[in-house]
Amino acid sequence: MPTIVVEVMPKAELLDPAGKAVTGALHRLGHSSIAEVRIGKRFELRVDGEVDAELLTQVEEVAADMLANGVIEDVIDVRVEGAGAAGETH
Amino acid sequence: MPTIVVEVMPKAELLDPAGKAVTGALHRLGHSSIAEVRIGKRFELRVDGEVDAELLTQVEEVAADMLANGVIEDVIDVRVEGAGAAGETH
């Protein structure tokens, strides 16, 4: 069963309080080389059957409309993983 | 500035109510070929300087200890992206 992975991150210009908290914790643990942490979402969509270009385009639209909040987030990757992954990535 | 990407997903055997809600919404919109949706987290750790094997190992430990809740989540990927990404992926 192929899986389409959609990755969504907060827009670069947006403050990421959760990311800041993790950055602070890492610094307190001595990991000072980590300059910044940002936290986004990773969606795995399991697909019945093959993933063709048409389905991938539909998922890109769904990603932009539903999976990401366009005001504060960007869809940064839509790719196929696993069986049926003909290296399709947009 | 290289970025280390850490991806965390809920354990496979775990119920994912948010994922189920998205699956239902996709079906109502006619995307019936999407069998299941699961939602995880994507961390981007921006690094000052180079990413060497030692730092990558440290980040893997931090990922397992801090970025993922080991009871309900799995770290599924730790990779370097951007400048200094010598294709290091574990």
- What ipTM describes this predicted complex? 0.87
Q: What pLDDT is recorded for position A1? A: 84
Compare all CA atoms of chain B with the CA of A66 and give the residue at the minimum distance.
B22
Q: What pLDDT is recorded for position B88? A: 47
How large is the average pLDDT for residues A53-74?
94
CATH of residue B39: 3.30.1280.10
Q: What pLDDT is recorded for position A82? A: 77
Residue B75 Cα distances to A28, A61, B30, B41, B53, angstroms: 22, 28, 32, 10, 18
- For residue A42, name the pLDDT band (cuts at 50, 70, 90): very high
How large is the average pLDDT for residues A13-18?
93
Work out the mean pLDDT of chain A and round it to a whole number: 90
Q: Is residue A87 part of a domain?
A: no
Q: What pLDDT is recorded for position B90? A: 47
Domain count, chain B: 1
For residue range B27-77, list pLDDT tens digits in order.
999 999 999 999 999 999 999 988 999 999 999 999 999 999 999 999 999
- In chain A, which residues have their Cβ closer than 8 Å to the Cβ of B81? none
- For residue B82, name the pLDDT band (cuts at 50, 70, 90): confident
Q: Using CB atoms, pick whichever of A1, A41, A45 lies closest to residue B41.
A: A41
- In chain B, which residues have their Cβ closer than 8 Å to the Cβ of A67? 22
Please, what sign has the CA dihedral across residues B7, B8, B9, B11?
A: positive
Structural domain span for residue B18: 3-81
Q: Is residue B89 part of a domain?
A: no
Instruction: Tell me if B7 sits within 8 A of A81, measured CB to CB.
Output: no
Residue of B33, B73, B74 to mutate when probing chain A, most A C-beta within 10 A: B33
Q: Is residue B88 part of a domain?
A: no
